[in-house]
Structure 1
Amino acid sequence: MAVALSILDLAHISSGETAGDSFAASVQLAQRAEEWGYRRIWYAEHHNMPTIASSATSVLIGHVAAHTRSIRLGAGGVMLPNHAPLTIAEQFGTLETLHPGRIDLGLGRAPGSDQQTMRALRRDPSSAEAFPQDVLELQGYLSGESRIPGVNATPGNGTNVPLYILGSSMFGAKLAAVLGLPYAFASHFSPDALEAAVALYRREFQPSEQLAEPYVIAGVNVIAADTTEYAEEQFEAAKRYRVTRMLSQGREFTPEETDAILDSPAGRQVLQMTRYTAVGTPAEVDDYLDRFAKQAQADELIVVSAATDRAAWLRSLELVAEVRGLKSA
């Protein structure tokens, strides 16, 4: 049986675009994904990144939800140490009240930013240590069983927005297992611990009110195209974009400089992040996703269209939906 398929929309601001252009593209993608049969779309909290527009994650979710009808939408994820749990409960309780049965809340403990941005967020560097307790506090607000006497989330109280633990290490896997929550592994950019973390999660999972059996979502990059050659061209462009974005420190590189960076140890380390990428025709991508799902022991795959061209970005996700038979699933 084929695993469920969802999308992680990184809300890229492409070259020559504004944040408004990115939001319009996200709405277009969500509307099409709803037609194509994807289960959900998630957006990630990032700060101080000029090419990513999803910093105010809950606001973007609300905007997209208002322009769609049925597809699930959520955070993949909210970096909880950046916020008070009560605030997130109120935000996502509001979203669930406005769009019942459509909202997910994935939670991570990374800053989603650099050290200087952490200070601008007024985040205590040690706040990640309280992540397990913050998850429980947030869960209490949403379930209507607040752990803080006399404090309730309005809206939020009793909405039971489903929680997901995001991670790329053994810590998140262990926490998700102990709390009996679904576990989403960020293998689309941090692949190293995938198999070990999923194995630990499945081995130590304890049933909860939200979830009776372990549930794993694994991230994977995709570039599907009508020809293998065009898909490979898009993948090459995506690799060059990723390396220059992460290593340029704001300066423009010539093509020769980019080639040199790609061949450098730092460039190879960045490219290693794309280890799990399905590239090719729909049939080739379909075969890769089957093999990856088995390797990851995944119940659901959340795909990231790595194409940098907007038309290729949309077409890639359309072809994946077609070859996976989402409309007929």
Structure 2
Amino acid sequence: MSMEQDNKSSLEGTKFSVLDLVPVAEGATHQQSMAKSLELAQHVEQLGFGRFWISEHHNMDTLVSSATPILIGYIAQGTQSIRVGSGGVMLPNHAPLVVAEQFGTLETLYPGRIDLGLGRAPGTDQLTAKALRRDRPETVHDFPRDIGELQTFFSLDNKNAAVRAIPGEGLDIPIYLLGSSTFSAQLAGLKGLPYAFASHFAPTHLHDALSLYHQNFQPSKQSATPYTIACVNVIAAETDENAKFLATSLQQLALGIIRNTRKPLPPPVKSMDGLWHELEQTQIQKMMHYSFVGSKETVQKQLESFVEATRVDEVMVVSHIHNHKDRLRSYEILSEIF
């Protein structure tokens, strides 16, 4: 066995997938941003990535993923085999019946390719969340209840009910629970659903959430065994120096989140010195703890350590890179690792 094959062995069996927020790069239109996401999906499909998820966000100049099911259909229509889904749909923003109908329609159009990832955060600010939800108050009991209602609409047992999801009823649409804390981890375990953790921006509770998920897992019709996904930032380039340069776009984006001055994804800069204060730098570095930046060799070592520490079944990658060609190249380098 060669040294390169030996280095890959610790990632053997780990699946790799993509999370896309449909970012708007500075200087690009919304239409161009969506077209680039489709090009990215086609690119990673050819590279062998297993799935391509789009996350729901609202009222952000930086992202145009608000109409998530429409974009999922756009991506699915433009690809052939890669699974396409939500990472996720923020269920409190929607009636479960509407979600069942939308994803039932997608699964009917693209059979065997649609995933439904569900989150309980608003995916936006509180004022916008109120506009989305109207006057519906949310309690800690709503999310588990809404998931159960959604599962009922997908079930054949609902065929004699007064309210049915058509299309949707009887279709095999896998549900994934998403989270950035321990709440959804425990819930996913109790419901016997796969679990995805948002460690790309909320690293603090990753290990506790994974542990709690496994401790509480109960087999279900969908999943006989636990299944875990961790999302991380990856920015790969030919050299460590160039990758770190490209990563300053992500750092500037994070700075905008902290300052609540969100703007389209800016081009990279030679140095962040003078752009952020020491406290902001510390906060961003903590937020982006699971960001793997560097050459192929550097990123491979970082990913190996991450998978060994977490034992996740799947690594989902998001890459905020301003230049589209550099973003495509980053995924090419990543595919060479796995």
Comparing 236-245 with 6-15, greater Cα deviation is found at 236-245
Is residue 40 of structure 2 the alignment partner of residue 26 of structure 1? no
* Residue 56 of structure 1, aligned match among 43, 67, 80: 67
- 2:240 corresponds to: 228
> Which residue in the other structure is 1:152 paired with?
164
* Residue 265 (structure 1) aligned with residue 276 (structure 2): no
TM-score by length of 2: 0.90
Which residue of structure 1 lines up, in the alignment, with residue 9 of structure 2?
Answer: none
CA contact (8 A) 1:144 1:152 kept: no
Which of 186, 193, 211 lines up with 1:181 in the alignment?
Answer: 193
Cα displacement (A) at 1:173: 0.5
CA distance in 2, matches of 1:81, 1:122: 7
Q: 1:125: Cα distance to partner?
A: 4.1
Describe the shift of the 1:30–1:298 C-alpha distance in structure 2 as closer, same or farther (beyond 3 A): same
**Unpaired segments ≥5 residues, structure 1:** 325-329
Give per-residue Cα distances to partners, 1:248-282, cap 9 Å, x unaligned.
536899x9xx7456224244323321100111111
> Do the aligned residues in 1 keep the contact of 2:24 with 2:64 (CA within 8 Å)?
yes
Gaps of 5+ in 2: 1-11
Q: Distance in 1 between matches of 2:189 and 2:13?
A: 24
Aligned counterparts, 1:1-329, within 5 A: 1-123=12-134, 124-126=136-138, 129-146=141-158, 149-249=161-261, 259-260=273-274, 262-324=276-338
Structure 1 residues 164-183: Cα deviation after superposition (integer angstroms, max 9, x where no partner) = 00001110011000000000
Q: Partners of 1:41 and 1:156 in 2: how far apart?
A: 21
What's the CA shift for 1:112? Answer: 0.6
Name the SS for the 1:94 alignment partner.
helix
> Residues 170 and 245 from structure 1, CA distance in 2 versus in 1: closer, same or farther, beyond 3 angstroms?
closer
Greater CA deviation, 81-90 or 138-147?
Answer: 138-147
2:325 partner amino acid: A
Deviations 1:32-68 (A, max 9, x none): 1111000001000000011101100000000111111
| Gap change, CA 1:245 and 1:168, over 3 Å in 2 | closer
Q: How far apart, CA to CA, are the structure 1 residues paired with 2:148 and 2:158? A: 9
CA distance in 2 between counterparts of 1:250 and 1:37 reads: 33
Normalised TM-score (structure 1): 0.92
For residues 18 and 311 of structure 1, what CA distance do their matches in structure 2 show? Answer: 17
How much is the aligned-residue C-alpha RMSD, in angstroms?
Answer: 2.0
Task: Tell me the CA shift for residue 235 of structure 1.
Answer: 1.5
SS in 1 for 2:241: helix
Please, which moves more after superposition, 176-185 or 289-298?
289-298
**2-side partners of 1:183 and 1:248: how far apart?**
29
C-alpha distance in 1 between matches for 2:319 and 2:81: 21
Q: Which amino acid aligns with 2:53?
A: W
Percent of aligned positions with the same letter in both sequences?
47
Q: How many angstroms apart in 2 are the aligned matches of 1:129 and 1:264?
A: 40
Distance in 2, Cα, partners of 1:128 & 1:53: 29
* Change beyond 3 A, Cα 1:30–1:150: same
Q: Secondary structure at the match of 2:157?
A: coil
| CA–CA separation in structure 1 for the residues paired with 2:260 and 2:325 | 26
Q: Residues 104 and 163 of structure 1 are in contact (CA less than 8 Å); yes or no, is this contact kept in structure 2?
A: yes
Aligned partners of 1:81 and 1:127 also within 8 Å? no
Of structures 1 and 2, the one scoring higher in RCO (CA 8 A, sep 6+) is: 2
SS in 1 for 2:158: coil
Q: 8 Å contact 2:92–2:133 — kept in the other structure? A: no
